[in-house]
């Protein structure tokens, strides 16, 4: 009897709530109820076009000196897909959280105004998930605080992005492409016109983080500055107040750069003559 009454009440409540409560709030409540620490995910969770990324690693096998010495702009790629773990690590390196009181990030930011948004365009069958399926193709925005991706635009965007980037072949051959946009007002509100310079400096920091993390993971990237700003923005589905600043394809490299200390010594020696 009690359980029948409970069933009727909860049915009525769910019908009422679906009529009265906006779906966004319902979705948020559902996520709260099903919350699990990212550590227990062992990978990813997909629902409502949200991809919870695996927790990034805070240790690695490559020292910062080795990454600096081996970093190169690489435009030749293998056809192998990326893994969600690799993509997660790259995104965290670009703009992930490293401090929990103010939400400071891997990238320094003038007055901690954080004007950048990081997007990733995922190509079809290009990012392998833990269960050997692939991340849905499309563009996603990275949400640093939740270390999660939110789908912005579904579909194979590779050719459009390639054309918007002046047909640079490496955009087409990549597996995923990071696009960094900026909302200038977040920084100019505080610093006036000088804030524009700060935003440009900051995107360089984020770009270098991506370069070094990619190198440490034995992945390839190249910083791309030559593209049609508004076209790239439209391809990724970003709003008009966001300005596209950097495009960085990610893939497995067809070659790797390596130098020895002896080679460096010899080079420096010659320049001291
Ligand atoms: C602001 C900026 C814009 C760039 N734009 C492009 C580009 O549009 N296409 C490209 O292939 N490389 C681009 N590059 C990469 C440079 O060509 C590359 O960094 C340079 O040749 C030095 O090689 P390295 O990065 O291997 O040291 C750009 C680099 C920077 C910093």
In this prediction, the residues of the chain whose per-residue pLDDT falls under 70 are: 1-48
Task: Pick from 212, 223, 255 the residue to mutate for probing ligand 1's pocket: most ligand atoms within 8 Å of its CB.
Answer: 223
* Span from the CA of 223 to the centroid of ligand 1 (angstroms): 5
- Residue 22: per-residue pLDDT: 54
Identify the residues whose C-beta falls under 6 Å from ligand 1: 72-73, 75, 168, 222-226
Nearest atom within ligand 1 for CA of residue 207? 31
- Separation of alpha carbons 92 and 53, rounded Å: 10
- Residue 181: per-residue pLDDT: 98
* Span from the CA of 84 to the centroid of ligand 1 (angstroms): 26
- Residue 232: per-residue pLDDT: 99
| Nearest residue (CA) to ligand 1, atom 10 | 224
| Nearest residue (CA) to ligand 1, atom 3 | 225
Domains, the chain = 2-52 (no CATH), 64-251 (3.40.109.10)
Task: Pick from 200, 201, 222 the residue to mutate for probing ligand 1's pocket: most ligand atoms within 8 Å of its CB.
Answer: 222
pTM: 0.87
What 3 state SS string does 65-91 have? HHHHHHCCCCCCECCCCEEHHHHHHHH
Q: At what angle do helices 84-95 and 194-216 cross, to 10 degrees?
A: 150
| Nearest residue (CA) to ligand 1, atom 29 | 223
- Residue 131: per-residue pLDDT: 79
If 0-12 CB within 10 Å is exposed, 13-18 middle and 19+ buried, where does residue 138 land?
A: buried
| Nearest residue (CA) to ligand 1, atom 31 | 223
- Separation of alpha carbons 182 and 189, rounded Å: 13
- Residue 46: per-residue pLDDT: 54
| Nearest residue (CA) to ligand 1, atom 6 | 224
- Residue 19: per-residue pLDDT: 55
- Separation of alpha carbons 216 and 224, rounded Å: 20
Q: What are phi and psi of 219, to 5 degrees?
A: -115, 165
Nearest atom within ligand 1 for CA of residue 257? 26
pLDDT in tens, 134-146: 999 999 999 999 9
Please state, in angstroms and as integers, the Cα–Cα distance from residue 166 to each residue in 17, 119, 120, 224, 236, following that order.
50, 19, 19, 10, 16
């Amino acid at each position: 009897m009690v359980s029948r009454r409970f069933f009727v009440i909860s049915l009525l409540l769910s019908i009422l709530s679906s009529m009265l409560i906006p779906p966004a709030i319902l979705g948020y409540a559902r996520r709260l109820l099903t919350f699990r620490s990212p550590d227990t995910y062992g990978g990813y969770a997909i629902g409502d076009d949200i991809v919870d990324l695996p927790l990034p690693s805070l240790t690695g096998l490559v020292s910062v000196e080795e990454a600096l010495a081996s970093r190169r702009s690489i435009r030749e790629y293998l056809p192998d897909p990326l893994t969600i773990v690799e993509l997660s690590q790259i995104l965290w390196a670009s703009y992930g959280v490293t401090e929990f009181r103010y939400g400071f990030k891997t990238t320094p930011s003038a007055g901690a105004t954080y004007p950048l948004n990081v997007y990733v365009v995922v190509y079809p069958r290009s990012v392998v998930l833990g269960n050997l399926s692939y991340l849905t193709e499309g563009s996603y925005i990275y949400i640093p605080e939740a270390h999660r991706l939110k789908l912005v635009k579904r579909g194979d965007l590779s050719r459009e992005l390639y054309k918007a980037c002046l047909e640079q072949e490496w955009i087409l051959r990549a597996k995923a492409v990071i696009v960094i946009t900026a909302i200038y007002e977040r920084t100019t509100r505080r610093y006036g016109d000088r804030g524009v310079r700060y935003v440009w400096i900051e995107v360089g920091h984020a770009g270098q983080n991506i370069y070094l993390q990619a190198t440490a993971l034995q992945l390839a990237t190249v910083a791309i500055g030559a593209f049609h700003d508004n076209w790239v923005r439209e391809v990724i589905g970003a709003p008009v107040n966001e300005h596209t600043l950097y495009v960085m394809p990610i893939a497995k490299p067809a070659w790797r750069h390596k130098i020895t200390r002896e080679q460096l010594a010899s080079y420096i020696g010659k320049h001291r003559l």
